[in-house]
A and B are shown apart, each in its own frame.
Chain A
């Protein structure tokens, strides 16, 4: 907690290099899993193909619970990529963290609000984009005055609140998990007794963090589809 971040300025923009590294690591892992699982595709699926098809059906179920498949089908790829990317990101910080020269390098990329807020903002902007694309500017605008026109200010606030809660919920969960893991690790490293005392809670908390990571990935995708459906569905 008292460690810094390896920030560098490149072309006038500040990069947290650990974020960049971890994002790329997460992306590479997701890509490898998906790529390897979809080699040698068969009509009668086996092994990893089953797993990937299960994920596809799972996301399909999330989308179908929010909107009809005709409108929702276009978000399928987004949903699968999001859920896998966020899940893998959440898992990355669990087994260990790496600190070099006081800078935290290895962590969950989703334990940084910049990353989660970027994903959240991307989803909200996408929802506005598809709202305008599918319903036209008029239908999109009219939605702000439904069901009552005096709710218009609330509707505006809702958009920002949605973005904030979507991003910060994920960040908060993962960041809190990592802080507690770091504390336990510090205790475990302090002495033999500390190790003995930290071992069980560490295991429990890691297991719980896996659960949290999976749940948060699911919630993020679920809310993504809810917000998208609010914007693109005719009735809501």
Chain B
């Protein structure tokens, strides 16, 4: 084949050393193929690969951004939580103090009330005692009168009698 042409005066009578046309054909076919593929296949394919690269890069960037965003939010939430906790602590403390104060108040009031009630009870008792004493005195006078009339068997005027007994009792009371 090729080397046949290198032999001068080769038998098939071609004067050519080389198939010059083949060289041109090879170049033309290859370059046309190169051009067509670049236009119709490699170009779009490289474009899509570039696009994918860009997409991935932007996705990574977005992910990084949202990660930072969420970290920031988390920090914010954490500080808010801390604040809320402190506030709750304060509220509880206040409530405790308030409770202490009202406890003291209630105790004081109750104590005063009980003292007042005791005093009034004492007063009542004294009144009742006086009343009872008076009633007893009445009774004793009547009984004595009855007894004396029985003993003396002599009627004296009831008016005189009463006066007499009253005096006696008064004297008795003073003696006591």
Interface residues of A (CB under 8 A from B): 4-5, 7, 10, 13-16, 19-20, 23-24, 27, 30-31, 34-35, 37-38, 41-43, 45, 49, 52-53, 56, 76-78, 80-81, 85, 109, 112-115, 118-119, 122
Chain B residues in 8 Å Cβ range of A37: 41
Contact, CB under 8 Å: B55 / A31:
no
Total number of residue pairs linking A and B with CB closer than 8 Å: 119
Specify the chain A residue showing the minimal Cβ separation from B18. Answer: A114
B27 to chain A, nearest CB (A): 6
**What are 19 contact pairs spanning A and B, CB under 8 A?**
A7-B19, A14-B21, A23-B25, A23-B30, A24-B29, A31-B37, A34-B42, A41-B44, A43-B55, A52-B41, A52-B45, A56-B49, A76-B42, A77-B34, A113-B1, A115-B26, A118-B27, A119-B26, A119-B30
Residue in contact with B30 in the complex, picked from A16, A77, A85, CB distance below 8 Å: A85
Q: A5-B1, A52-B45, A81-B33 are in contact. Are A15 and B38 (CB under 8 A)?
A: no
Contact, CB under 8 Å: B20 / A13:
yes
Residue B46 at the chain A interface, CB threshold 8 Å: yes
Specify the chain A residue showing the minimal Cβ separation from B6. Answer: A113
Chain B residues in 8 Å Cβ range of A115: 22, 26
Chain B residues in 8 Å Cβ range of A35: 40-41
Contact, CB under 8 Å: B20 / A14:
yes
A130 to chain B, nearest CB (A): 15
Contact, CB under 8 Å: B42 / A85:
no
Contact, CB under 8 Å: A78 / B34:
yes
Q: Which 3 A-B pairs have the closest CB atoms?
A: A15-B21, A34-B41, A13-B21
Residue B131 at the chain A interface, CB threshold 8 Å: no
A172 to chain B, nearest CB (A): 11
Residue B14 at the chain A interface, CB threshold 8 Å: yes
Cα distance A19–B2 when bound, in Å?
12
Contact, CB under 8 Å: A19 / B22:
yes
Residue B107 at the chain A interface, CB threshold 8 Å: no
Residue in contact with A7 in the complex, picked from B14, B49, B51, B55, CB distance below 8 Å: B14
A59 to chain B, nearest CB (A): 10
Contact, CB under 8 Å: A16 / B29:
no
> Of A30, A78, A81, A109, which is in contact with the most chain B CB atoms at under 10 Å from its CB?
A81
Cα distance A20–B33 when bound, in Å?
14
Residue B122 at the chain A interface, CB threshold 8 Å: no
Contact, CB under 8 Å: B23 / A114:
yes
Cα distance A159–B152 when bound, in Å?
180
B50 to chain A, nearest CB (A): 11
> Of B26, B38, B47, B55, which is in contact with the most chain A CB atoms at under 10 Å from its CB?
B26
Contact, CB under 8 Å: B38 / A77:
yes
Chain B residues in 8 Å Cβ range of A42: 48
Q: A38-B44, A52-B41, A81-B37 are in contact. Are A112 and B22 (CB under 8 A)?
A: yes
B24 to chain A, nearest CB (A): 7
Chain B residues in 8 Å Cβ range of A38: 40-42, 44-45
Residue B82 at the chain A interface, CB threshold 8 Å: no
Residue in contact with A27 in the complex, picked from B19, B20, B33, CB distance below 8 Å: B33
Cα distance A80–B37 when bound, in Å?
10
Contact, CB under 8 Å: A4 / B23:
no
Chain A residues in 8 Å Cβ range of B55: 43
> Of A19, A37, A76, A85, which is in contact with the most chain B CB atoms at under 10 Å from its CB?
A19
Specify the chain A residue showing the minimal Cβ separation from B25. Answer: A20
Cα distance A24–B26 when bound, in Å?
9
Contact, CB under 8 Å: A15 / B22:
yes
Cα distance A113–B48 when bound, in Å?
38
Specify the chain B residue showing the minimal Cβ separation from A37. Answer: B41
